[in-house]
Amino acid sequence: MPALKKNQIVDEWSVLIRGIPGKAGYIFGTTGNNIDETNVPDVNVEKSKVAAGGAFGGLFAAKRDCLIITNTQNPKLRPYQMFICARDYGNNLDISWYLTYRLSFRQKVLTFFRALPLIGLLFVGVIDPENIAKTEVSNLDFFDEQDLRVYVTNAHKCLQDAVDKLMLELNQDPSKIDRKSRGFLGIS
């Protein structure tokens, strides 16, 4: 089961829509269909239970439904996954997405050794587990960053379209939504 960890998040966006409970399935379905209709290459969309990060991969953590979107073509972008979440919050609908950077096996091993007393001293400066996601973003070349930006922007726009459609069906004004993400991409 995938786990969403706070230190892996490099960009995010969220909105709380008042007075619309019970529409998470609509958001997931419509967003997934919108992504399919854009015919973007090499993007995988799947709905899955996701755990809050922590020890043992979130084995004992709370779990929520999310759409997980992954670029499958570019090896430099495979570690970047987008999690789209939607859930009831009282009489409201909480919708968010998180772009994460998932550590490679090598990075996980280095992080493990860095945490060990004495041995960890050998790895000081080699890997900073708290900031590795932000460091890896800065290591992308121009075209890889462009591909990452368009892959995330496409999913963001597909989610926005689903939110707009739902709000219009319920006679709410979607123009009041803040559409800009909070992270290095700053997507709007």
Q: How far is CA 183 from CA 24, 104, 133, in A?
A: 24, 21, 12
Which residue is listed with tokens 């219009």? 168
State the SS3 of 60-114. Answer: CCCEEEEEEEEECCCCCCCCEEEEEEEEEECCEEEEEEEEEECCCHHHHHHHHHH
Distance CA 168, CA 75 (A): 39
| Structure confidence by residue, pLDDT tens digits, 2-61 | 788 887 888 999 999 998 889 999 999 999 999 999 999 889 999 999 988 765 555 667
- The total of structural domains in the chain comes to 1
| Structure confidence by residue, pLDDT tens digits, 78-125 | 888 999 999 999 999 999 999 988 765 555 555 555 555 655 555 555
Q: Is residue 141 part of a domain?
A: yes
Q: Is residue 101 part of a domain?
A: yes
| Structure confidence by residue, pLDDT tens digits, 117-162 | 655 555 555 555 555 555 566 678 889 888 988 999 999 999 999 9
Q: Which domain holds residue 112?
A: 3-172
Q: Is residue 106 part of a domain?
A: yes
